[in-house]
């Protein structure tokens, strides 16, 4: 049940009936304070201004024709012309009851779209760093949400698997193989391998010459170089897969659509851009000048799409990639979860894409940027020695800390149970700490905060869930035993019921804005509303009809928390 959409429709109709121009926005929102009702419509003021009438008088006209029979118990005008809507308990009872008996919690499927989501995108022969962690888990959560709404989601892992660095990497892999025999998938320290390759390239002229010749050969399709290249990609992705699996992220090898995939399109694109008069030669390179970007002299900025030596760039690849996503993948929408520092790069690539007519305007290309992960000192998150933090090490540390925490809290669980709880809490803590922050801001990575049982954290939410299910396990009641129907009687029940029904709005907002923190905030509020309800409304000791009703509300709460956490990629525990 999407209450906001329902009320928005009703108020829109009333606006029109009261004389507003067609399609005037009703602007229905959840109210910030209980005294303003459950929802408020803010559109009246704008319309009244357009019509040149008194907003409060116009609001009265709207209310006179507004038909919320059965839905609202009270509708009133407030302030300069807000319309406050108070939902009716009876209606809330019927709706929560319906949600309770529906496997999808009453949530309707959206009209299906093809949506491409570009996320994770680590680089070959490099470790995944914390920036890739952010992209991976935020992207994964949005993918889950879009799929839940019924969309056809194509996960695209745009790995950095192409570029001149492969010359030195192949030359170094060759050297290592000559010394140690066949390299297995355990080339564990990729970062060190990369650094070593670079060092040899800088220090050893013969090595560097070989590396350069391998770049040319690789680009020319040489079989040996292609095989070595593939090995580097595979070794990297096998290791990344371990991280994905630990993080409960659904990416697999099947989702890899790296930069190299677009190689065969690049020359044609540059030729086409030339033909369209968009790319022009400058110093032997092919450049597109964009009026909307000025260089420091105030002239249109030039974006190079092909270098003088014939090589292509990251931008050229992203132009091809957007074209491919529209033409071949038939995307209606493309979401990119990439570090905010790449914003200009994307804007330039897409500006060229639009000018060349590769992707029509109605297909959205969306950069869902995110900020940096910072250390406690407020500076970019690094190891003590100042190096990049390996994702695998970060997850190991989470595991250790969660193990100690669970050990100290639950003396009476078996070792297996404790291990399972610790792993689940550890991964959840790392993910939730990230997902619960507004995506675009930098945030401070703090172990103590993320593992706390108070506040908007994973342990708090997971515990909130176990607490609700324990009501059932302790009383030995299961869903099948529930009879009767939900009957909202007091305020705490009412607040909880309205919040439960707002799950659908939370799901939609994440799908629309690509901001999983909206789901975290929703769940945190829901858990708070449940606590207040639980304190004020005895369940098991209530008389039978009330007991059944409250048990149903509790069960719907548990189901909603579980489903919401699942959309965030976070697992729940029946005991902890």
Write down the H helix ranges in 204-262: 205-219, 223-246
The residue (of 10 and 129) whose beta carbon lies closer to ligand ARG is 129
**Residue 152 bridge partners (DSSP):** 114
Smallest distance, Å, CB 414 to ligand ARG?
Answer: 42
Q: Where are the alpha helices (DSSP H) in 112-159?
A: 130-148
Residue (353 or 539) nearer to ligand ARG, CB = 353
H helices present in 290-385, as ranges? 314-327, 343-355
Q: How far is the CB of 345 from ligand ARG (least distance, A)?
A: 7
Q: Which residue carries 């029940």 as its tokens?
A: 493
Please say which residue, 335 or 468, places its beta carbon nearer to ligand ARG: 335
Query: Minimum Å distance from CB 18 to ligand ARG?
Result: 48
Q: Minimum distance from CB of 303 to ligand ARG (Å)? A: 14
Cβ 176 to ligand ARG shortest distance, Å? 24
Pick the binder of ligand ARG from 61, 134, 151, 158 (CB under 6 A): 158
CA–CA dist 513, 144 (Å, integer)? 14
Nearer to ligand ARG, 336 or 463 (CB): 336
| Residue 29 φ/ψ, nearest 5 degrees | -135, 160
Among 321, 395, 430, 458, binds ligand ARG (CB under 6 A): 321
* Total chain residues near ligand ARG (CB under 6 A): 9
Q: Does residue 118 interact with ligand ARG by CB under 6 A?
A: yes
User: Looking at 105-113, 116-124, 242-250, 459-467, which segment touches ligand ARG (CB under 6 A)?
Assistant: 116-124
Shortest separation between residue 519's beta carbon and ligand ARG, angstroms: 24
Residue number, 129 or 494, with CB nearest to ligand ARG: 129
Going 500 to 501 to 502 to 508, the CA torsion angle's sign is positive
- Closest approach of ligand ARG to the CB of residue 474, in Å: 49
Report the C-alpha gap between 526 and 97 in whole angstroms: 17
Nearer to ligand ARG, 160 or 564 (CB): 160
- Residues 301 to 320: which contact ligand ARG by CB under 6 A? 318
CB of 88 or CB of 121, closer to ligand ARG? 121
- Residue 416: phi and psi, rounded to 5, are -65, -45
220 φ, ψ (degrees, to nearest 5): -85, 0
What is the rounded distance in angstroms from the CA atom of residue 8 to the CA atom of residue 83?
12
- Residue 160 found at the interface with ligand ARG (CB under 6 A): yes
List the one residue out of 559, 505, 497, 573 whose CA is nearest residue 533. 497
Residue 136 Cβ vs ligand ARG, minimum distance, rounded to whole Å: 11
Write out the binding residues for ligand ARG, residues 171-200 only, by CB under 6 A: none
Instruction: Kindly indicate which of the ranges 73-81, 117-125, 438-446, 563-571 contains the residues binding ligand ARG, using the contact rule CB under 6 A.
Output: 117-125
CB neighbour list of residue 111: distance below 8 Å, 6 or more residues apart:
none
Residue 336, C-beta contacts closer than 8 angstroms, at least 6 positions apart: 118, 119, 346, 365, 366, 367, 368
- Classify burial at 181, counting beta carbons within 10 Å of its beta carbon; exposed 0-12, middle 13-18, buried 19 or more: exposed
Q: Between β-strands 114-118 and 333-336, what pairing exists: parallel, antiparallel or unpaired?
A: parallel
- The verdict on 514 binding ligand ARG (CB under 6 A) reads no
* Nearest-approach distance from CB 217 to ligand ARG, in angstroms: 24
Contacts of 171 (CB under 8 A, 6+ apart): 197, 200, 201, 207, 210, 211, 214
Residue pair 60/49 in contact (Cβ under 8 Å)? The answer is no
Q: Min. distance of Cβ 319 from ligand ARG in angstroms?
A: 10
Q: Which two tokens stand for residue 502?
A: 């707002």
Report the nearest approach of ligand ARG to the CB of residue 354 (Å): 16
Instruction: Find the binder of ligand ARG among 93, 123, 172, 457 (CB under 6 A).
Output: 123
Terminal C-alpha separation, the chain: 32
Note whether 121 binds ligand ARG by CB under 6 A: yes
Q: Say which residue the tokens 């009320």 belong to.
A: 7
316 versus 423: smaller Cβ distance to ligand ARG: 316
Answer whether 16's CB lies under 8 Å from 24's CB.
yes
Question: Nearest 10 degrees: CA dihedral of 69, 74, 77, 83?
Answer: -60
Q: Which is nearer to ligand ARG, 262 or 463 (CB)?
A: 262
Which residue's CB is nearer to ligand ARG, number 156 or number 429?
156
| Nearest CA-CA partner of 164 in 228, 233, 216 | 216
Determine the interface stretch with ligand ARG among 115-123, 227-235, 507-515, 557-565 (rule: CB under 6 A).
115-123
Binding residue for ligand ARG, selected from 173, 305, 334, 338, defined by CB under 6 A: 338
Is residue 365 near ligand ARG by the rule CB under 6 A?
A: no
Residue 566: which of 179, 297, 250, 296 has the closest Cα?
A: 250
Closer to ligand ARG by CB, 19 or 311: give it.
311
Residue 324 Cβ vs ligand ARG, minimum distance, rounded to whole Å:
11
Sequence-distant (6+) residues with CB within 8 A of 458 are 425, 428, 429, 431, 432, 433, 450, 570
Nearer to ligand ARG, 318 or 504 (CB): 318
Strand positions, DSSP E, 381-448: 443-444
The token pair at 306 is 């092909």
- Nearer Cβ to ligand ARG, position 121 or 373? 121
Question: Minimum CB separation from ligand ARG for residue 159, in Å?
Answer: 6
Closest CB to ligand ARG among residues 262, 530: 262
In angstroms, the CA 112 to CA 76 distance is 37
Give the nearest distance from C-beta 387 to ligand ARG in angstroms. 17
161 binds ligand ARG (CB under 6 A): no
**If binding is defined by CB under 6 A, does position 237 make contact with ligand ARG?**
no
- Judged by the rule CB under 6 A, the positions of this chain that interact with ligand ARG are 118, 121, 123, 158, 160, 318, 321, 336, 338
């Amino acid at each position: 049940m999407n209450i906001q959409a329902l009320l928005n429709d009703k108020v829109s109709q009333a606006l029109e009936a009261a004389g507003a121009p067609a399609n005037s926005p009703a602007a229905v929102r959840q109210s910030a304070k209980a005294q303003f009702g459950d929802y408020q419509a803010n559109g009246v003021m704008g319309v009244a201004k357009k019509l040149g009438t008194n907003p409060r008088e116009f609001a009265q006209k709207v209310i006179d024709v507004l038909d919320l029979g059965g839905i609202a118990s009270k509708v009133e005008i407030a302030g300069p012309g807000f319309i406050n809507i108070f939902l009716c308990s009876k209606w809330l009872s019927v709706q929560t009851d319906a949600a309770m008996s529906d496997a999808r919690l009453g949530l309707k499927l959206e009209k299906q779209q093809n949506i491409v989501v570009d996320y994770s995108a680590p680089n070959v022969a490099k470790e995944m760093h914390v920036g890739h962690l952010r992209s991976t888990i935020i992207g994964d959560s949005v993918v889950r949400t879009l799929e839940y709404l019924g969309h056809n989601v194509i996960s695209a892992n745009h790995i950095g698997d192409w570029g001149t660095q492969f010359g030195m990497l192949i030359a170094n892999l060759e050297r290592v193989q000559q010394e140690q025999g066949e390299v297995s998938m355990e080339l564990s320290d990729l970062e060190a391998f990369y650094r070593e390759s670079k060092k040899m390239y800088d220090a050893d002229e013969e090595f560097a010459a070989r590396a350069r010749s391998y770049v040319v050969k690789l680009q020319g399709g040489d079989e040996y170089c292609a095989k070595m290249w593939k090995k580097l990609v595979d070794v990297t992705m096998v290791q990344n897969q371990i991280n994905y699996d630990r993080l409960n992220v659904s990416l697999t090898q099947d989702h890899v659509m790296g930069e190299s995939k677009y190689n065969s399109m690049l020359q044609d694109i540059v030729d086409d851009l030339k033909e369209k008069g968009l790319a022009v030669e400058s110093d032997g390179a092919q450049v597109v000048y964009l009026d909307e970007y000025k260089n420091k002299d105030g002239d249109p900025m030039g974006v190079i799409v092909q270098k003088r030596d014939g090589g292509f760039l990251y931008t050229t690849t992203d132009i091809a990639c957007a074209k491919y996503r529209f033409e071949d993948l038939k995307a209606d929408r493309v979401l990119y979860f990439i570090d905010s520092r790449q914003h200009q790069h994307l804007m330039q690539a897409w500006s060229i894409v639009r000018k060349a007519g590769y992707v029509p305007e109605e297909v959205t290309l969306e950069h869902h940027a995110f900020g940096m992960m910072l250390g406690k000192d407020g500076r970019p998150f690094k190891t003590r020695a100042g190096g990049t933090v390996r994702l695998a090490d970060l997850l190991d540390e989470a595991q250790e800390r969660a193990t100690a925490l669970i050990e100290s809290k639950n003396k009476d669980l078996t070792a297996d149970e404790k291990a399972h709880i610790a792993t689940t809490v550890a991964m959840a803590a790392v993910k939730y700490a990230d997902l619960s922050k507004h995506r675009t801001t930098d945030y401070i990575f703090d172990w103590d905060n993320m593992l706390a049982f108070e506040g908007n954290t994973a342990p708090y939410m997971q515990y909130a869930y176990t607490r609700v299910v324990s009501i059932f396990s302790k009383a030995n009641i299961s869903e099948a035993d529930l009879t009767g129907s939900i009957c909202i009687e007091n305020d705490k029940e009412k607040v909880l019921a309205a919040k439960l029904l707002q799950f659908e709005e939370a799901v939609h907002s994440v799908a629309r804005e690509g901001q999983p923190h909206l789901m975290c905030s929703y769940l945190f509020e829901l858990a708070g509303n449940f606590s207040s309800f639980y304190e004020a409304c005895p369940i098991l000791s209530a008389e039978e009809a009330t007991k059944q009703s409250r048990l149903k509300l509790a069960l719907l709460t548990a189901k909603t928390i579980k489903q919401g956490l699942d959309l965030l990629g976070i697992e729940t525990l029946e005991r902890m």
